[in-house]
Structures are given as structure tokens and as C-alpha cells.
Amino acid sequence: MKFKSKLIKPFANAVARQVDRWKMTAVADQEFIRQNLVKSAKNTLFGKENNFVAIKSAATFSSIIPLTDYELIRPYIEKIKSGDSDVLWPGQPKYFAKTSGTTSGAKYIPLTKESMPNHFGTARNALLNYAARSGNYSFFDGKMIFLSGSPVLDLDGVIPVGRLSGIVNHEIPAWLRKSQVPSYQTNCIDDWETKVDAIVKETIHKDMSLISGIPPWVQMYLERLLKQSGKERIIDLFPNLSVFVYGGVNFSPYRNTLENLFGKKLDSVETFPASEGFFAFQDEQGDEGMLLNTNSGIYFEFIESSRIGEHNPPRLPLEGVRTNIPYALVINNNAGLWGYNIGDIVTFISVDPYKIVFSGRVAHYISAFGEHVIAKEVEDALLTTSASFDCKVSEFSVAPQVNPPEGGLPYHEWFIEFDQEPSDINAFIDLLDQQMTAKNIYYKDLIEGHILQKLKLRPLKKGTFITFMKQNGKLGGQNKVPRLTNDRKIADALTQINNL
């Protein structure tokens, strides 16, 4: 064990013990955070308008504080950008994390000095906790790459603005910065493909021990490393590589492809970060779920996903949730987001401790015929089917075909880019459809009732999804391909690109 890993070991063990304590005190911690948030913000503009002084319990909290989204808080954000203080949270934000919304255009998510420890501190704790529980401290002795957005910040008034992943780069402590690649200059390159080539050049001869990023963009980086080096496996380039950290999408559809590129099975740590907060991380190797981050400045509420379209749907505190029910995630935090529906759906796989899996986006579903298919269902169905045929999927998206141009009953249309196609595509389609009917009772009823016909599959040329993301200015960084859409916009774009 080298000097740095020896130095970090006691801190890692302390974090792991702390995480174990959080598991046992989650409900009490959430109540303490709720009370502290209300007390801290009662004299803000939002606190006065919504009568925070009358909030005495979780029940009055959810009845007094309205359910919001970005459109509803936009007027408050504009006041902050104009220079007002004490609007959503005391003082002014330290940063704005700028994101590209699907319905609201650019979003400016406030990050305060109180909320920043949630973002970087949770990432740090996830790594230290992994090290303590796995006994693998050596990755701290090598180089670590975090594929992220540009750290260049703009100013909106007096508040710096940038991508969250770029902002976090400014918060990395000196002891970790020395191990981090790529360089600041390379990280500032805006064009993703140019940036990946520069990262490859900079890292190809480094002693890489950890790789972190969203799986499809990590895959692009690995493929270019192999092409540039002439090696067959990443492990031949980086023999000390031992950890893969990821988040943002379900890893399962990418696992086989990435493990083939790595050349061996690496330990992996799943995380659940967003501009609005760092919500959960995988605390045990081999565990499907992520531990909800219940002691880090966020008070969570949950709405059953089947009720999200209702006016003022019931919001449950942590102690009210049950396993195997999809919930829309609502947060209240020390950056001034209140009753904020972040648009993500989670499902609890355990309530002792509270562990979740990411089940998709509220906006990313198919319910053109009342089936309400969610991302986790299509991902699980595709994973099981692909395993049965020993094929490899690079990327996919699913859309409804309500009025088939060829006539006949409507259907779900699957656009799949394969790294390795199944040997029998018709048998693959049959099994995939069977998996979907098994996972979604409404879909099954529509198939058996002859309202829908069996799904159709459109294999796509290699590179179709990358071209699509490039055309939409979303290549690389923290951007993800929508797995499910309830309209034909993405489907039609993919079809056009594939036919070029």
C-alpha cells in the first residue's frame, strides 16, 4: 500500500461507519432536516409567501408548500438573477447549474454554499465507502478520470453559471486534484469529439485506476483508446484499473459491451447525481440498489407515479413509502428548491435500509394507449432477452406507432443499435414482446385484446445515436438518450439518420 492509500484508509473506514449509522437514523434525520430547512428559510420571499411559520409537521409541510417544477419557480429564479437576495434561500446562490430542459428551455438551478457539500461530499463518500467495504484503497494511488462537462463558468449578473459537472471541478480539493485527469485545459474543450480525442492523447500512457462517467460516453472514450493504442483490451493499457463509477442511466444494457472493452469485470459504483442534488449511491458491491442520501441537506417526498398527473397528489414522507411501487421524486433542499418535482421516478427495493433503483423519467414513458410503460420495464425486458441470445446492445429508444403507414394495428416500435446482432432476429422479437407482456399488465391486456400488435424492431446502423445526439447539440457530458418517448419526434429523426 502506497503513501496516499495508507493516509486515506482511516478516513474511508470512518465514512463507512458513518454511512452505517445513517441507515439506522434515516427517518429521524429527515425530520431534523425538514425542520431546519423551514427554520432557515422562513424569512425568505418564498417562505413568507407560503407561510412557513405555520408549518409544524410533515403533514402541514406538504399541505402548505406547493408542488413545483421549474416553470413555477422561474419567476423566483429571475428575481435572483436580477440581484435580489433572500428569495428562495437566505442570501444568494454560490452558482447556477445550467441545464437544458425539454419543456422549459435552459434551466438555472441554484447551488448555495450550504448545498455544495451535498454534491461533492456525497461523491467523496461514495468512493471512500467503496474503498472501506471492498478493501481496495489502491485506486487512490493511480490516476482517476471523470468524464464531465466543461469547467468554464459564465456570469449571470454576479453569479457564476456552468454545468454541474464543470462546477464540481472547482470544488475538488488539492489532494484529489493531483490524481485527476484530464487537465483543466483539455476539460475546457467544448466540442465533445475533439475533447475525447484530446483526453485519449492525454491519458493513453497514464496509470489509470478509476474511470467515471455516463456509460455511453465512457464507451466512446474506451473505443478510441483501443483504436489509438492498437490494444485489444483496456486492461492491457491500464493494468491497475479497478473501479468504474457511473450514473445517469441504467448500466445493465451497457454492461457486456463495457466489460468486453475493459477486458475484465471491474468493481462498479452506481451513483445518482443531478443538478438539483446528489440523491443516492451504491453502498455495497453486488447490491442492486442505491442507498438514499437521507442526511445531506435534502428532505425527500414521494408521489406514486400513477398519481403524478392529479391536481395536488398526496406527497409521502420517507416513512410512508413501500417497496416495489414507482414514485416520482420530490425534493426540498438547502439551495431553495421547495416541493420540487425533479422529473425522476424511483422504486424502493428495501426500506430497512432505504434503498432505491432509478426507474426512469416522469416525462419518458409510453402511454399512447393507456399502458404507461416506464424505462425500467423496457430496460429489464431488453436485458433478459439480450442475455438469452448472447447479443450486445449499444443504445436503444422506444416510441409508439399510433397510425402505422403500412396499415394494421398500432404497435410499439423499438429502435436498437446493436454491437452484435442476435442470430435469430424474429425469435429475439418474440421473446422481447413476451418479456414486455410479463412486466406490464396493461401492455399485456392491449396485446391480448388486439388493441396493439406485437412490437416491431428497427435495427439501426452503427453510430446512429451518436449522430442524433450531435445534431441536437447533446453529444457527450451528462447528456442521455431518452429511452422512451410518447411521440414520434425521436423515432422519426432516428429513421431519417438511419436511411441516409
pLDDT, tens digit, 9 for 90 and up, residues 399-455: 999 889 999 889 999 999 999 999 999 999 999 999 999 988 889 988 987 889 999
Same domain as 295, residue 210 = yes
Same domain as 173, residue 37 = yes
Same domain as 166, residue 52 = yes
Please say whether the beta carbons of 44 and 73 come within 8 A: no
User: What mean pLDDT comes out for the span 168-190?
Assistant: 85
Using a CB cutoff of 8 Å and minimum separation of 24, what contacts does 195-204 make? 195/476, 196/220, 196/221, 196/224, 196/476, 197/224, 199/145, 199/147, 200/224, 200/225, 200/228, 201/228, 203/143, 203/145, 204/228, 204/229, 204/237
Label residue 105 by pLDDT band (50, 70, 90). low
Which of 7-11, 308-312, 328-332 is predicted least confidently?
A: 308-312
Q: Which residue has the cell 442470430?
A: 423
User: What are the phi and psi torsion angles at 435 (to 5°)?
Assistant: -65, -40
Q: Closest Cα partner for 337 from 119, 93, 63?
A: 93
How many CB atoms neighbour CB 375 within 10 A? 21
**To the nearest whole percent, how much of the chain has pLDDT over 90?**
67
Same domain as 405, residue 297 = no
Please say whether the beta carbons of 153 and 161 come within 8 A: yes
Task: State residue 500's pLDDT score.
Answer: 66
Task: State residue 102's pLDDT score.
Answer: 43
Q: Which residue has the cell 465507502?
A: 129
SS3 412: strand
Query: How far is Cα 273 from Cα 30, in angstroms, rounded to an integer?
Result: 19
Pairing of strands 154-156, 208-212: unpaired
User: What mean pLDDT comes out for the span 341-358?
Assistant: 93
DSSP-H helix ranges across 161-284: 164-169, 174-177, 184-187, 192-203, 215-229, 234-237, 252-262
Is the confidence at residue 176, as pLDDT, over 50? yes
Same domain as 419, residue 331 = no
User: What are the phi and psi torsion angles at 106 (to 5°)?
Assistant: -70, 135
Same domain as 325, residue 375 = no
SS3 243: strand
Same domain as 399, residue 271 = no
Q: Give me the domain span that covers residue 341.
A: 1-361
Please say whether the beta carbons of 169 and 240 come within 8 A: no
DSSP-H helix ranges across 85-148: 116-134
Label residue 103 by pLDDT band (50, 70, 90). very low
User: What mean pLDDT comes out for the span 236-242?
Assistant: 96
Q: Which residues contact 23 (CB under 8 A, 6 or more apart)?
A: 291, 353, 354
Task: State residue 166's pLDDT score.
Answer: 84
User: What mean pLDDT comes out for the span 319-347?
Assistant: 95
Task: State residue 190's pLDDT score.
Answer: 81
Task: State residue 343's pLDDT score.
Answer: 84
Residue 461 forms beta bridges with which residues? none
CA-to-CA dists, residue 363 to 21, 236, 272, 486, angstroms: 35, 42, 18, 8
Same domain as 396, residue 347 = no
Query: How far is Cα 127 from Cα 203, in angstroms, rounded to an integer?
Result: 21
Q: Reduced to 3 DSSP states, what percent helix, strand and coil does the chain have, rounded to the nearest 5? A: 40, 25, 35
Is the confidence at residue 272, as pLDDT, over 50? yes
Question: Which CATH number belongs to the domain containing residue 451 in this structure?
Answer: 3.30.300
Task: State residue 363's pLDDT score.
Answer: 64
Same domain as 277, residue 424 = no
- Joined together, the cell numbers standing for residue 194 give 475533439
User: What mean pLDDT comes out for the span 447-464?
Assistant: 92
**To the nearest whole percent, how much of the chain has pLDDT over 70?**
96
Same domain as 440, residue 340 = no
5 against 203, higher pLDDT: 203
- CA-only gyration radius of the chain, Å: 23
- Joined together, the cell numbers standing for residue 468 give 442524433
pLDDT tens profile 38-68: 999 999 999 999 999 999 999 999 999 999 9
Same domain as 378, residue 306 = no
SS3 349: strand
Which of 60-74, 210-224, 291-305, 313-327 is predicted least confidently?
A: 210-224
Query: How far is Cα 448 from Cα 453, in angstroms, rounded to an integer?
Result: 9
Is the confidence at residue 220, as pLDDT, over 90? no
Instruction: Give the chain's domain count.
Output: 2
User: Which among 339, 361, 383 is the end of a domain?
Assistant: 361
Please say whether the beta carbons of 361 and 373 come within 8 A: no
pLDDT tens profile 373-399: 878 789 889 999 999 998 989 899 999
Q: What angle do CA 132, 137, 140 make, to 5 degrees?
A: 125
Same domain as 184, residue 39 = yes
In the chain, the largest separation of any two C-alpha atoms, in whole Å, equals: 69
Question: Which CATH number belongs to the domain containing residue 348 in this structure?
Answer: 3.40.50.12780
Q: What is the mean pLDDT of the chain?
A: 91
Query: How far is Cα 78 from Cα 72, in angstroms, rounded to an integer?
Result: 11
User: Which among 361, 379, 399 is the end of a domain?
Assistant: 361
Amino acid at 36: N
pTM summary value: 0.79
CA-to-CA dists, residue 104 to 79, 99, 263, 273, 342, angstroms: 17, 10, 42, 20, 13
Please say whether the beta carbons of 424 and 431 come within 8 A: no
User: Which among 338, 361, 384 is the end of a domain?
Assistant: 361
Residue 400 forms beta bridges with which residues? 412
Label residue 361 by pLDDT band (50, 70, 90). confident
